[in-house]
Structure 1
């Protein structure tokens, strides 16, 4: 067993060495996004042509739209800070001042784009929604911005953005005017936006495009992520709304006009994509106009804000959606009572364990019975190893005699798993944990990074403390779980001791980059399970 111990230790050290490389491999957009985006912007960008006096200039399809911050127009509400660029008349930069940014005292930045052909609300027109971008004339007043331009073939467009009451939702109105002397046929693509750059390594798995549509009479939410390929995927059915989202925030466009829009996700490679809505072919008579309205939402994935807008399906916890939403609601109620989300997580974990304690007790007592009859089981296996039929018969008789159900220890744990998995997903996605502090953790939605005065190998200059405490708690819990059995195989006993150390270390690696709120939940659950098992260990079998 000493050899096995060294092997386990070696595997743990190998895992420690490869863990940072694995993160960089699976989440390259987090570790390389700034260099990649900067490089892409420098390669693609060309100087924008200057507009002629009295009319906007039209950029040819061969030219790539490069954002010029000097040509930005700002719109600021209590919840949003948006910068509109003349190139495309679309949103170049998004900030949410009610959420903290990477630097102390700075607001959270969702986008700061170098290329306007990726910008939210960028408009592309042509026979098939071409890539040409137009220079717009932008005016602003209060919480409204208007952008107007002359498109090819005598088509004029006005884009009007309006926000009220300092919220996250607003209105985007498009008006197309035919200034030519002939009917004009065209279609357009309206960009929802590109994939949202991740702020933490864990964010990569939650970045996706969403389409909510009606298919065969049913409402369906589609989750698409085409970041690993260069292909374009079309949403099914008539799109009711489209979104680009990450773990906590979204940009959503919801058509308010009776027009059958298609949804498109264009894979851009390097774990990036672009989401857009495409109109059917439209006809505007000479001197006529056509108006389309959209609901525009830019903000947190908060079901209380999304529900009145008909966007609540965006907050989805997968197959455990109902349980997840119930747990999030309970967490918010406990936060109001406790005044802190960290305390609320501890309280919620305690309540869940109390409710599930009867199942935990059944599971532990069944496991204890199985361990007590282990020597008898080994003896039967040795006696009848060449006679499987006799072996099974003797085993069943042993179970009956000692009132043991071989699956009794597993079934209660299986029944508990949906609750624990739903809470895991809910805590991972809950926007309420953003900027919620607890002890030294400054943000329960991200790892509890404690600065170090020096750099450590593989760790760097920041240490995540909660996962280390969790590992120690799991080692202690494993000691409470183990049951000393007379006559137990020494090899099996040694293996149990080894696993009591290796398993917590493996969990430590897994949880090291997780949000601190999630680690706090698992730590609290581990401590409670250790206390329960210490109590159950004193009980005698009936």
Structure 2
């Protein structure tokens, strides 16, 4: 049994190492974290026109000359964005309620230019008469103001373009207080004597990054949803291998990263085509709607919704029923989501995320107590059988078959299940890992304060107090459960396990380490309680 416990610990160690490695890649090196002070500029080398999809498929190779344009500033209570009048694209978005670093007053830069890298949202009209498909390049919209500020219940930012035939295209963004999503409408007025045809596209482009993470929670790349596939990832490497070409009714596309997401959601009653491409070092994922015919003298309105903000499950689900899946808890989502809801509920009463973590740990450990009791009881009984086990080894020597038969007979007579200590541990692991995903992925814990020296539960403990206490609790657990294994290698690994885990946890988010520390302390208390009860029954389970 002890040998099997050792291998379980080794497996957990490996998983922890992989999670730590991948978390480091995403959390310490996010594209948007290091350059939030930069100002987005309109560069003549951006090749914006080359990113416009055609009305059928693919991307046109031509790059047209840059026309005069300006950046239009829009400020709400939660967003500060810049819209490029050429194309009407959102080329910068700062999240005013989320700071770049804990304790700073610099808003987090979600969209923009980052040391030569780009992350932009684009939209336009292609098709036979779409202004974005014109040979002279994308249209330059006119705006009545260069700056807009939300002061009421909504803010409407209209951009107008009139083509050479007199067709008026009005691209309007509507913002609301407290919202990270914006509604975009295209109002098309065709006063000519001939019908026209346009096709709405919305897309997100981002500079190609390193190969995506093998851990879901640190994935950086594109995702999409269709009527048949509610959530699928499409990484930069996937884009390099093949262009995405998915027909669907409704759907959505998004780029996700640690804590934040940007996503386009088209009208859900239309037939759309989800596509992708890599062009000039930019990974592109987008949606094209079906062509729309506008009769002579007629008008039409096309709409889409764009989200740019934190991974707030409630806000995302309100935009699209599947968009909350971009808060990616991996294959344990069905456990993680209820646990997150419980954590939010506890925080609503307690008002402190650190104490909420302690509270949810208490609840989980209490609910799992029957499994914990079965685990420790089985392990204690196995230790009590060690002298008899040793006697059987001496009696049968190298005859493994007879030794195995005698051992199983002994288990039967003593009413001991040799796997009784393993199964409860295995059953608990999905819950522990699901909580790990919750702590790692939940935006609510980003820059959340606990108290004293712990001012950010999403970052490492600055003085490494929690990792050291965790190692001490793990060491105490081992002392209270004397090892009976005789293999020197296993003994060394078990002895050094607290040190190894403490070293790994030095750079883990302090909220995660707090959970594991409290869990260990509760486990020690439960173990002592269980052993005391067994000793009262005359069973010697320690020493």
Please say if residues 32 and 109 of structure 2, whose CA atoms lie closer than 8 Å, have aligned partners that are also in contact: no
| Conservation of the 8 A alpha-carbon contact between 2:90 and 2:121 | yes
Q: Given that residues 211 and 235 in structure 1 are in contact (C-alpha distance below 8 angstroms), is that contact kept between their aligned partners in structure 2?
A: no
Say yes or no: does 1:322 pair with 2:334.
yes
2:433 maps to 421
Shift of 1:35: 9.9
Note if 1:121 corresponds to 2:132: no
Q: Distance in 1 between matches of 2:329 and 2:417?
A: 34
In structure 1, which of residues 224, 227, 234 is the aligned counterpart of residue 233 of structure 2? 224
Question: Residue 119 of structure 2 contacts residue 207 of structure 2 at CA under 8 Å; is this kept in 1?
Answer: no
What aligned pairs does 1:165-314 form with structure 2 within 5 A after superposition? 165-178=177-190, 182-194=194-206, 205-215=218-228, 220-229=229-238, 230=240, 231-235=242-246, 237-256=248-267, 258-266=269-277, 273-311=283-321, 313-314=324-325
Secondary structure of 1:122's aligned partner: strand
Q: Give, in whole Å, the separation in 2 of the partners of 1:518 and 1:28.
A: 14
Maintained 8 Å contact 1:252/1:298: yes
Q: Superposed, which structure 2 residues align to 1:454-469 within 5 Å? A: 465-469=465-469
Residue number in structure 2 paired with 1:516: 510
Q: Provide, for residues 273-305 of structure 1, a one-character-per-residue CA deviation record: whole Å limited to 9, x for no partner.
A: 332111223433444443211233222222333
- Residue 400 (structure 1) aligns with: 412
Once the two structures are superposed, the pairs formed by residues 496-535 of structure 1 within 5 Å of their partners are: 497-535=491-529
User: What is the CA distance between 1:180 and its match in structure 2?
Assistant: 6.1
Displacement of 1:422 in angstroms is 1.7
Deviations 1:129-182, CA, capped at 9 Å, x for gaps:
979544332345552212233568876532100112342233110234457664
Q: Conserved in 2, the CA contact under 8 Å of 1:84 and 1:93? A: yes
Label 1:249 to 1:22 Cα distance change in 2 as closer, same or farther (>3 A): closer
What is the CA-CA distance between 1:360 and the residue it aligns to? 0.8
Aligned CA-pair RMSD: 4.3
Whether contact under 8 Å (1:196, 1:245) holds in the other structure is no
Aligned ranges 1:29-40 → 2 under 5 Å: 30=29
Residue pair 2:200, 2:302 contacting (<8 A) in 1 also: no
C-alpha distance in structure 1 between counterparts of 2:338 and 2:67, whole Å: 44
TM-score between the two structures when normalised by the length of structure 2 = 0.76
CA deviation profile, 1:406-428 (whole Å, cap 9, x unmatched)? 11011111222222122111121
CA distance in 1, matches of 2:316, 2:435: 21
Classify 1:33/1:337 alpha carbon distance in 2 versus 1 (closer, same or farther; 3 Å): closer
Distance in 2 (alpha carbons) for counterparts of 1:65 and 1:19: 48
The residue number in structure 1 matching 2:143 is 138
Give yes or no for the alignment of 1:358 onto 2:367. Answer: no
The whole-number CA distance in structure 1 between the counterparts of 2:530 and 2:513 is 25
Aligned mates of 2:291, 2:333 — CA distance in 1 = 38
Deviation at 1:401, TM superposition (A): 2.3
On the 8 A contact 2:454/2:510 being kept in 1, the answer is yes
TM-score between both structures, scaled by the size of structure 1 = 0.76
CA contact (8 A) 1:210 1:222 kept: yes
Q: Are the counterparts in 2 of residues 196 and 246 from structure 1 also a CA contact under 8 Å?
A: no
Question: Structure 1, unaligned stretches of length 5 or more?
Answer: 1-14, 50-59, 451-462
**Does structure 1 residue 373 correspond to structure 2 residue 372?**
no
Query: 2:454 maps to which residue?
Result: 441
